[in-house]
Amino acid sequence: MKKKLIAIVVGAAAIMPALAQADISIYGRAHVSTDFLDDGDDYSETNLSSNSSRLGFKGSHDINPDLKAFFQIEQEINFATGSGGSSDFATRDTFVGLSGSNWGAIQMGRFDSPFKVARGPANLFGDQVGDMRNLTRIGDARFDERFDNTVQYTTPSLNGFNMKLAYSVYEGQAAVEDEDSDAFSVSLNYSNGPFTGSLAYEAVEEDVSRGERDGIRAAAAYNLTDAFKLVGFYQTVDYDGVVLGDAGVIDQAATDAKRDDLTSDTYGLGGEYKLTDATALKAMWMTLDSDGEDYDADMWVIGVEHKLDKAVRVYANYAMVDNDDRQNLRPWAQGRSANPGAATGEEATGFSVGLRYDF
């Protein structure tokens, strides 16, 4: 680890003269929580969790009045243990690109797919106990991904509309003959006045480790009043991966069962009510309707959040997942370092008190 840090420092020193020509900023998020987690069976413990905390560097450089270069490097940091979230550097959204006021932006690297970003309008509990990804991102299919080896084009905004189109070599196997391992993701986004919404489609081809899949996602938020916001979410995904048995032969029975389990509809409604400019009550209900028998789940979340100032907020959430007989989801699995398993067919509950500091 020390050698890796030394290499990073030396590398950073080497590129400082070039960075001096750009407008560079350092940013990050320290997000930690204390959680009481209960799997409905044998596990009932208190945990400290770092929740998608990160450190990043970003900047831009004006080439001419109509053309700008930009970059971002972002790494997960575990504030619960004082370590990086991975042995690698730049594990989160990391890219370089060009933008123009008249034609939009193009970027290349590793970053959230348009399909993943599209949940944003309805994402009331992101990186907290009760995050919607605990139902939308289940199983080996892993919808809601950050793609490697990606090029993305973002259109300029026109009357509140814009589009994101991304193509990814995905797992880097395009150089291997006869393998189909690419991915495509696109979203149409709108934000104007009281309404914000996204509609997205994504497809990943067959020669990847998690198998072929595609999905459609829609998310929306509408401010009914200055104090009350209503949100809604819908996702339908289809999984076409295979299960290999002995000698690499497809196990058709296992394949059919897995396809049914991971092919599903997920939808829900929620709301946020501002008690004051700094304090809000939030609640959301979501359900997972799987094609697999006894593989469904429901999740309820309620929370209160208080902003101490623009950069710092505290919150308390309570979330529950009610699993069908074969399902074992929990409301704390995504975006958090504290992630114990859950019991099959039980109600998993979590109570969380958190602090988030954006800098």
CA dihedral for 88, 129, 214, 201, sign (positive or negative) = negative
Give the pLDDT score at 7: 46
Per-residue pLDDT band at 87 (split at 50, 70, 90): low
pLDDT digits (tens, 9 = 90+) for 166-178: 999 866 555 555 5
Question: Residues 266, 134: contact at Cβ < 8 Å?
Answer: no
Round to whole Å and give the CA distance between 83 and 263.
36
Give the 3-state secondary structure of 212-262: CEEEEEEEEEEECCCCEEEEEEEEEEEECCCCECHHHCECHHHHHHHHHHH
Question: Residues 185, 205: contact at Cβ < 8 Å?
Answer: no
| pTM score over 0.85 | yes
Per-residue pLDDT band at 81 (split at 50, 70, 90): confident
Per-residue pLDDT band at 5 (split at 50, 70, 90): very low
In 3D, which of 99, 118, 115 has the Cα closest to residue 107? 99
pLDDT at 15 over 60: no
Per-residue pLDDT band at 161 (split at 50, 70, 90): very high
Mean residue pLDDT of the chain comes to: 90
List domains and CATH numbers for the chain: 30-358 (2.40.160.10)
pLDDT digits (tens, 9 = 90+) for 286-324: 999 999 999 999 999 999 999 999 999 999 999 999 999
% residues pLDDT > 70 (the chain): 89
Work out the number of other CB atoms within 10 angstroms of the CB of residue 148.
15
